[in-house]
A and B are shown apart, each in its own frame.
Chain A
Amino acid sequence: MSSTRATQEIPAFRTRGITKIYGGRGTAEVRALDGVDLDLPEGELVVLLGPSGSGKSTLLNIIGGLDHATSGEAWFRDQELTSMSDRQLTRYRRDNVGFVFQFYNLVASLTARENVALVTDVAPDPMRPEEALALVGLQERQDHFPAQMSGGEQQRVAIARAIAKRPGVLLCDEPTGALDSKTGTAVLAALEDVNTRFGTTTLVITHNAGIRKMAHRVIRFQDGRVVEIEENKTRIRAHEVTW
């Protein structure tokens, strides 16, 4: 499989000694991330693997600008995320990050197109909502409400919503976790397509080890640390992923 990823000097993400501690002051201290160092090159599809509580989601939250690290540094390209204020992080998310969640997190009272418009209303250089929905094959369903769509369709709306702003990175937390294999494959194909077509750096958290073969790079977490980084010489296509 040919890759369109750009080889640049500056990685998309770089972390040094990132640590996140929850609790303390009377309650038991939980070290969710414990000094993680990572370099994630631009344009890659990266899979984060590991058991529950191993720190994958915490890392995603920190490099997605949703949460602050307790210590250490995290960089997006040349911006230091760990020194940003809440306001700057909001700006960062608005301009650069697309999120896809396990439970889709669509606004129930908005149609597919309107859910995508939530993003295009505030992003600096978005595509049209219809265009984003067409990319995930949902142009026919754009006026349906979430309750009128299957889980796979809802997750594709969530992906359309994430890519509509033409984000620099796409962060996906268990995007197929709630889906059966058929719809899961369709969602993975959409992610793969975005990564290939736009060169969007894509991080996917999953419990499904089958997905790792799609990735350029696989990072394994355990107890808040990175225990293994593996680069795939050969990758399989989304439809080849087995569940």
Chain B
Amino acid sequence: MLHALDRKLLRDLWRLKAQALAISLVLACGVAIFMTGLGMVRALEVTLEDYYNRQHFAHVFASARRAPASLLRDVEAIDGVQTAEARVVGSVVLDLPGRAAPASGRVISLPDTGPALNVPLLVSGRFPSETAGDEVVVTDRFASANGYRPGDRFAAIADGKRLILTITGTVRSPEFIYTLPPGGLMPDDAGYAIMWMPETAAAGVFGMSGAFNDLSLKLRRDANQQAVIDRIDSLLEPWGGVGAHVRELQMSHAFMQAELDQLRSMSAVLPPILFGVTAFLVNMVLGRIVTLERSEIGLLKALGYRDSEIAMHYLMLATLVAALGVCLGWASGAWLSSGMSQLYARFFDFPWLVQPHAIDVFAIAGLIGLASAAIGALRAAWSAAALAPAVAMSPPAPPAFRRGFLDAVSGWLGLPQTAMMVLRGIVRWPLRAAFTSLGLSLGVAILVASNFMLDSLDAVIDTSFFKSNRQHATLILAHEQPLSAVADARHLPGVLAVEPQFDLPVTLSVGPREKKLAISARPLGGDLARTLDVEENPVPLPEQGVLLSAKLAAYLGVRPGDMVRVTLSGLREGEMVLPVAAVTQQYIGIGAYMRLDALAALLGEAPRVTSLNLWIDPNELSELEAALKSMPALATTVMLTDVRKSFQDTISENVRINTVLFLTISALITVGVAYNGARIQLSERARELASLRILGFTRAEVSTILLGETAVLALIAQPLGWLIGGWIAWAMMAGFDSDLYRIPLVLTAQNFASASLVTLTAVTAAALLVRRRLDRADLIAVLKTRE
């Protein structure tokens, strides 16, 4: 049986339904995003750990040019190494039936005894038989994207040799949860294959009998990782080792961690904003209700209700609003999580994904949601409990307005009385006005941050593809070749221009800081792949010295004019100290650049080439693609036009999702704050406004007074929102800053203008809803009722 006080609670809630819903939706948004973030982070973490453990994902990875198989025993003997596995890995060009453009692939050997580390997980078919020379298993995603089944065949060109390979099965691998093709920015399931081949066959294809070029290690728990890496480096150095690295630098794993970091920062920024706005709205609305219900509170006290019962009554009102928000949040959070899971399934290749909506995630999100409403309700509940019963029985004294600075200014400006009413209202409750403006500004800020992301990615595309890497295609060669390869390439059909590039694996160091990477050497006056200065103007390659990307220079702590130590790795030995000539702008990866002839002179050899950048006549593209399929010594081709297109497609799809998400959040916050604010003013000013109507003011004039305060606060909120949005954008930029990629801080006037346009529209909509109430209200009746 419901108590009378509970009935009052339910009827009050029903009376407040529009305001309650506005608050609930803001809270629901917070709960949904929080639980999606937390749920997905946990699901990904648990999935990764589980997957890595089951498939024995390695801790340390290394590669070399060609190391003798006997070296593996020395590796296994290193203190701290639990398991070591040597493999042969090589790149191939694929000629896939029904595909004009050459695809590329990576071949990985399967040890005869079966892999002990990075074990592929069979999805369909079987593993190749040890003795077979033409059997492979491929990633399930490659097979699905091309419609291949076990038994299907395709051609691969390795080192100019054409092989016909038969697919015996499809697999997944913990090494390739996220796979980027060489030079690619987005996964390319159809055009890039990872395939596993029996050891003997792979060694035959790549000329690696009795040798290996890839090493994976699993370490014991107590192992000293750095000591193991140092030892591996020294063991592999004579064999063209280019430096061992830890799991954190493994491509797929690094992308997973970047995704996790993004999820964590999403859960750290948005939900607190939404929970904070919820607390503010509850505080504002409940504060007003307590003021309105002074006499009822007094009555309840006179009837013998305890302070705690009365406080609980108002806390329960907030709790019910929050409960509605939490339930809506749970539902939309579950929906959002499964949407995210599907999105992840598209980009990441997991055999399974742990359910993101665990019961404790629901519980934590729900508790935080309830707590934020309760915190907002505390002040009002406390003031209800603290009202002295006798005082509560008489109406509140009119708020104490005083003449002050404002009056002097308005007298000077000649402001009308109606404007004074608006301004005095703001000055009289400065804290409420400040929080209202802050709340509205958060709606603006979220849109600014969301717009920033688009502008920033546009800038990344513009810089990376239209200013820096302008070539249509890059041919990556299987081996170093003499400069004559440029002339050979120029004879390929459709090729209008060719520029060589020589990538030399090195370790750059300054004091204790070092970075393993390749110096890219290019010819002077190259017009396809260009280096840009920090203002994004082309910067010529220096006669002497090296250009470093800004991120790399910052990591090494050098500025133009400083010296860096360059230690050669791979098959070359030696060390040199070079001056940093300039710092360059680059958003994808990190880089070091030199002039091709200058580097050759330092090495004391004739200039050599590892890749070729091409400018292509689009009309002859198909002839070129056909020719590339049979080009000897080609490791892989990168069609930059395709890379750019897939990057843009992915971005524009994410943009759609993001725009809907952030627009919703921003609109909910803005409408929630503006609507509740205006409703409270309507409630506070009802008698004043009724009096003005009787004095002959028109509806429009009365509305101006009512909505004037909201309008003034909304206008103040705009620059504040730009500022906060700019700060969030800056924080996002800092959060994205990794060796893999980074984004520029691009804040445009259009960004600010569109954010303001959207939020001001939302404020107007909320204000009109309240104005409709004012128009319908029987103002004469308002005057007759005793407040």
Show the binding face of A for B, using Cβ within 8 Å: 61, 64, 66-67, 86-87, 90-95, 97, 99, 101, 103, 105, 107, 109-110, 114-119, 121-123, 161
Residue in B4, B15, B307 whose CB lies within 8 Å of A118 = B4
Known: A67-B389, A109-B15. A94 touches B3 (CB 8 A): no
- Closest Cβ of chain B to A177, distance in Å, is 12
Instruction: Check if B8 sits within 8 Å of A109, measured CB to CB.
Output: yes
Residue of A nearest to B394 (CB): A57
- Closest Cβ of chain A to B312, distance in Å, is 13
B775 on the A face (CB < 8 A): no
Most buried by A among B5, B15, B304: B304
Instruction: Check if B4 sits within 8 Å of A93, measured CB to CB.
Output: no
The distance in angstroms between the C-alpha atoms of A114 and B7, with both chains bound, is 8
- Closest Cβ of chain B to A163, distance in Å, is 12
A-B contact pairs, 21 of them (CB 8 A): A66-B390, A67-B389, A90-B304, A91-B304, A94-B305, A99-B299, A105-B296, A105-B299, A105-B393, A107-B4, A109-B7, A110-B7, A114-B4, A117-B3, A117-B4, A118-B4, A119-B304, A121-B4, A121-B5, A122-B303, A123-B304
Q: Beta-carbon contacts of B294-320 to A below 8 Å, as 1s and 0s? A: 011011111111110100000000000
The distance in angstroms between the C-alpha atoms of A93 and B7, with both chains bound, is 22
B786 on the A face (CB < 8 A): yes
B12 on the A face (CB < 8 A): yes
B388 on the A face (CB < 8 A): yes
Residue of A nearest to B9 (CB): A109
B645 on the A face (CB < 8 A): no
- Closest Cβ of chain B to A87, distance in Å, is 7
Show the binding face of B for A, using Cβ within 8 Å: 3-5, 7-8, 11-12, 15, 295-296, 298-307, 309, 388-390, 393, 786
Instruction: Check if A90 sits within 8 Å of B301, measured CB to CB.
Output: yes
Instruction: Check if B390 sits within 8 Å of A99, measured CB to CB.
Output: no
The distance in angstroms between the C-alpha atoms of A161 and B303, with both chains bound, is 9
Most buried by B among A66, A95, A97, A110: A66
Instruction: Check if B5 sits within 8 Å of A118, measured CB to CB.
Output: yes
Residue of B nearest to A108 (CB): B296
- Closest Cβ of chain A to B358, distance in Å, is 40
The distance in angstroms between the C-alpha atoms of A101 and B389, with both chains bound, is 13
- Closest Cβ of chain A to B292, distance in Å, is 10
- Closest Cβ of chain B to A154, distance in Å, is 13
Residue in B4, B7, B307 whose CB lies within 8 Å of A86 = B307
- Closest Cβ of chain B to A164, distance in Å, is 10
The distance in angstroms between the C-alpha atoms of A92 and B304, with both chains bound, is 7
Residue of A nearest to B395 (CB): A103
The distance in angstroms between the C-alpha atoms of A11 and B388, with both chains bound, is 28
Instruction: Check if A121 sits within 8 Å of B302, measured CB to CB.
Output: no
Instruction: Check if A66 sits within 8 Å of B300, measured CB to CB.
Output: no
The distance in angstroms between the C-alpha atoms of A62 and B152, with both chains bound, is 97
Contacts of A123 in B (CB 8 A): 304
Known: A66-B302, A91-B304. A61 touches B390 (CB 8 A): yes
Instruction: Check if A67 sits within 8 Å of B295, measured CB to CB.
Output: no
The distance in angstroms between the C-alpha atoms of A109 and B389, with both chains bound, is 21
Instruction: Check if B302 sits within 8 Å of A118, measured CB to CB.
Output: no
- Closest Cβ of chain A to B384, distance in Å, is 14
The distance in angstroms between the C-alpha atoms of A66 and B302, with both chains bound, is 7
Known: A114-B4, A117-B3. A109 touches B12 (CB 8 A): yes
Residue of A nearest to B14 (CB): A109
Instruction: Check if B303 sits within 8 Å of A118, measured CB to CB.
Output: yes
Residue of A nearest to B296 (CB): A107
Instruction: Check if A99 sits within 8 Å of B786, measured CB to CB.
Output: no
Instruction: Check if B388 sits within 8 Å of A87, measured CB to CB.
Output: no
